Amino acid sequence: METVALDDAAKQIVIIDQTKLPNERRMLRLSSLKEFYDAIYLLQVRGAPAIGVFAAFAAYIDACSTDASDHDTFFGKWSDDLDYLNSSRPTAVNLSWALTRMRKVVEDHADEPIPQILDCLRDEALLIRKEDEASCRAIGENALTLLKPGYGLLTHCNAGCLATSRYGTATAAMYLGHERGYDFHIYCDETRPLLQGARLTAFELAEAGLDVTLQCDNMVASLMATGKIDAVLVGCDRVAANGDTANKIGTSVVATVAKHYGIPFYVCGPMSTIDPSIETGADIPIEQRKGEEVTDMWYSSRMAPSGIKVYNPAFDVTDHSLITAIITDRGICYPPFCFT
């Protein structure tokens, strides 16, 4: 099943509802702006590259719903819709990157009839998806040059097929290595509080036949101390110009412990995830989510005192000094990082 697919005839986006995995494989068909916003905010679709593809499809379908007869009216309403969609998740740069790219299509074809503009938007959205798949494979090929057969690999959150069009970013080398008999052993952090590692990464890698072990986030130091981890590979939602990287909450902890044990820590992501307009990680906006995700979500009854305050950032920033290399679709970047 494709993580994000376009049904052009029905003017719908078809996605796997990732909030239901691994127990239910539920497909959603979405066609309205509110449904698109909710799918991103509620994490029915997630992962920076997949969100970028989804946003491109959403921009196209939203444009198809226009009844405007002139360009200015069409562009004004559609542009407002894109701004609304962009507010659904502020940290992952691929969302704004894809919407900006779609907006430029309309600007570049301002003198053409609206039906032709819609065709151009569809072609651009499909191109973004095609590029994402090629990008993920290239990341995997580049990462594989740093890994040896038999390695124990640790990953955090989900930067796999479910977060992209195919292959994943942090998992791309794992899939390619599996195809080539590298015999990797993969360790997945459960990734509190939303359990993307347990529900998604462990699920998709096991389904593909890889050797996978799941552990709680706070077991990372214990695991690394055993010598079973040869490298850490994680995805990224935004990389600042100096290499500081925003990723799922807990990533910076893994990086810090890996540094202590002398284990290479690799960040994997497409060039579109690098945001040179952000000087350092201190400038990356961090999404704060509802406390119920910590106190209630996975329990049959509330597992915290009523009225307790909850700190629940969705992401943290890994300092560039903790990163061994940033593996992109265009090559491997080593310190000192300087993206301009």
- pLDDT means per 10 residues, the chain with 340 residues, are 93 96 95 98 92 97 92 94 94 90 95 95 98 96 98 97 94 97 98 97 96 98 98 96 98 98 97 94 95 95 97 98 98 96
- How crowded is the C-beta side of 110, counted as CA atoms within 13 Å? 8
Nearest to 196 by CA among 46, 327, 88, 95: 46
3-state secondary structure of 269: coil
Q: Check residue 241 and give its pLDDT.
A: 98
Phi then psi for 214, rounded to 5 degrees? -100, 140
Q: Check residue 35 and give its pLDDT.
A: 98
What top-level class would CATH report for the domain 139-333?
alpha beta
Q: Check residue 243 and give its pLDDT.
A: 98
Q: Check residue 207 and give its pLDDT.
A: 95
Structure tokens at 248: 């799922």
Strand (E) positions, 36-169?
152-155
Strand pairing category for 238-239 and 265-268: unpaired
Instruction: Compute the C-alpha angle 102/103/106, nearest 5°.
Output: 95
114-144 and 93-108 helices cross at what angle (nearest 10)? 140
Structure tokens at 233: 């590979």
The domain made up of 4-136 is a member of CATH 1.20.272.10? no
Q: Are 252 and 156 in contact (CB under 8 A)?
A: no
Domain extents in the chain = 4-136, 139-333
Q: Check residue 2 and give its pLDDT.
A: 85
Contacts of 211 (CB under 8 A, 6+ apart): 183, 184, 185, 186
Is pTM beyond 0.75 here? Answer: yes
* 237 carries an active-site annotation: yes
Considering the candidates 189, 237, 316, 329, report the single residue annotated as catalytic. Answer: 237
